[in-house]
């Protein structure tokens, strides 16, 4: 794995680079614009992004990278722990979040999850078609009624889990385990937030709502749909 760490704290940057270099190749940028330049010029497995940067906010860096087509997983590092702030980061394209101070063990665990997902194509490269929806794990694309629907990594994984269990109720815990490959999703309400973002792209523009909420239990992909 090759990592990009964007953090203005040179002490923390040096410490993380030294510690992580036993397992990863680590590049460090101390400004947002410097990090954007490195991300444009190099291929990374993951970007570790601090929010408090001297020239441009980490949130803005995230938005710029996603707007430029960067699909590299972005792991946010921040002392900020407010739910509304996390929702903004989700909207900007962040994949995961670690609240400072965090343990090195937890950081490495999150990186291992990202590494596993990068090594193995989602659903083994299978292509599934249900109710006019085609989801392709090898190309990471979703089409509904022939229309391409661009989804972020977690949105894609959640939809895939629902389609694989079409007609069955899938709990929030199961969706979290599938999409994040761990026992619990990283944020308390992250499934609901991701689900809203997914529905806005996947269901809202169409006549039928294929993703249904089963109150108190979870969600279901209903091939009949509701108008």
Average pLDDT over residues 55-63: 93
Kindly report, residue by residue over 110-160, the tens digit of the pLDDT.
888 777 766 554 445 578 889 899 999 878 899 999 999 998 888 898 999
CA distance 142 to 139: 9
pLDDT of residue 118: 64
**Count of Cβ atoms closer than 10 Å to residue 150 Cβ:** 10
Whether residue 198 has pLDDT greater than 70:
yes
Sheet holding 218-226, edge to edge: 169-170, 218-226, 209-214
Whether residue 186 has pLDDT greater than 60:
no
Average pLDDT over residues 43-69: 91
Average pLDDT over residues 177-183: 68
Sequence-ordered alpha helix ranges (H) in the chain: 10-20, 32-41, 58-67, 83-92, 104-119, 153-164, 172-180, 190-202
118/219: higher pLDDT: 219
pLDDT of residue 227: 59
Residue 95: what are its φ and ψ, rounded to 5°?
A: -100, -30
Nearest to 27 by CA among 64, 72, 63, 68: 72
Mean predicted lDDT score pLDDT of the chain: 86
pLDDT of residue 183: 46
- Per the DSSP assignment, residues forming a β-bridge with 50 are 77
Kindly report, residue by residue over 74-108, the tens digit of the pLDDT.
999 988 777 667 778 877 888 888 888 888 888 98
The model's pTM is: 0.62
Residue written as tokens 């040096």?
14
Average pLDDT over residues 169-187: 72
DSSP 3-state of 225 = strand
Domain covering 2-119: architecture: 3-Layer(aba) Sandwich (3.40)
pLDDT of residue 4: 96
Instruction: Considering the chain, tell me which residue range(s) the CATH 3.40.50.2300 domain(s) occupy.
Output: 2-119
Instruction: Considering the chain, tell me which residue range(s) the CATH 1.10.10.10 domain(s) occupy.
Output: 122-226
Whether residue 46 has pLDDT greater than 80:
yes
pLDDT of residue 223: 81
* CATH code for the structural domain at 122-226: 1.10.10.10
pLDDT category of residue 172 using cuts at 50, 70 and 90: confident
Cis peptide, bond prior to residue 103, ω within 30 of zero? no
Whether residue 27 has pLDDT greater than 80:
yes
């Amino acid at each position: 794995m090759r990592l990009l760490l964007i953090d203005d704290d040179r002490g923390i940057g040096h410490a993380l680079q030294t510690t992580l270099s036993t397992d990863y190749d680590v590049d460090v940028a101390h400004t947002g614009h410097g990090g954007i330049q490195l991300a444009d010029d190099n291929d990374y497995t993951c970007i570790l992004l601090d929010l408090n940067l001297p020239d441009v906010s980490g949130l803005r860096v995230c938005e710029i990278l996603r707007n430029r087509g960067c699909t590299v997983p972005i792991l946010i590092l921040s002392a900020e722990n407010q739910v509304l702030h996390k929702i903004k980061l989700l909207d900007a394209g962040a994949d995961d979040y670690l609240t400072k101070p965090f343990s090195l063990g937890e950081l490495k665990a999150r990186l291992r999850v990202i590494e596993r997902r990068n090594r193995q194509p989602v659903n083994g490269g299978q292509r599934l078609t249900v109710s006019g929806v085609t989801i392709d794990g090898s190309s990471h694309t979703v089409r509904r009624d022939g229309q391409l629907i661009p989804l972020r990594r977690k949105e894609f994984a959640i939809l895939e889990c629902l389609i694989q269990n079409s007609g069955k109720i899938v709990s929030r815990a199961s969706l979290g385990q599938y999409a994040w490959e761990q026992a619990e999703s990283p944020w308390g309400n992250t499934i609901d937030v991701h689900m809203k973002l997914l529905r806005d792209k996947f269901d809202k523009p169409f006549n039928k709502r294929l993703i249904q909420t089963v109150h108190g239990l979870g969600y279901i992909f209903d091939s009949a749909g509701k108008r």
